[in-house]
Structure 1
């Protein structure tokens, strides 16, 4: 597998995972409006250092999982159940989110934006299971393998994709801010659609696994 494919896959995967408003991109945007774009970029740099290592750890763990097909299929079965339940919940049970008044984010220290970015990124554990699941899924579809070159290419792609999203929030936050209300109002439908798609893909590969054996 060449370098470009895992790089591209990492880039796209990170765009999907990071684009929705979250603690890191929204904090970067707030720092940009309060203290300027340079400080926001410094914050982003700190966050990306942690993103690099989080993704690397996730892929190393995912490589172990991928080497044990019985574990992969077990995770698919668990994932199918979880995502089916989530799909039902978000489509038919969850209440429609209400628009909330945004509270001004106060950031006192202006001296350690880089380390603030590292800290906030460190306490955000969601990227690790996200990239484990994403890479294992891509590998099961035949689009990715876990050799060293592909792993580092994927990780670099994730860092570049994350930077692209953070950069967008920093420089276009005023335009994006008006769109966040739409995302909030329709978040259940969006998440339900994503989890439903994942559940269908997981079911397909579960059936394929048992039919093959």
Structure 2
């Protein structure tokens, strides 16, 4: 059970809403989104089903609200620093740090993030807004690296830098979202996964040159 199980009669509405969203996030780490009901969230947060509906239209509405919270917690500044060091200075270790931070984010919130995609699809306008606000500065920096690689012939000139940057970042997110499953399978070590994904990510942004690694 989620930690928040005290009845919410004396909580202010904003606190009740926060507790319900926290409980929803924990439930989605253990259940598929279609298996989570308003009654489950109410019970897990110590409130009532009518109270849930006083805050959210339905479960999808609550999942999107939780998604907004999660993307607001995205470690953008730390990721940007790792990315700049990795691309500007050619540091593989810095890019491994970028991947490690992304793995931490997906490990903490993967259930919720996958639930959003399953319920609404990645094309949901609200989701696009949350994700783009969090990741746009990183995509812009990746696009700069791609343009530089195109100028020196390391990447094809036909690539659209922003689209290619977006695809590279999605690749890294996808790898991070499956990191725990791959690691628990036991065939590959954490170092195997980190180095392989990091090198592939760098090649998507900078071409196949090994300079600086």
Q: TM-score, normalised by structure 2?
A: 0.30
Higher helix residue share: 1
Ranked by relative contact order (alpha carbons within 8 Å, sequence separation 6 or more), the top structure is 1
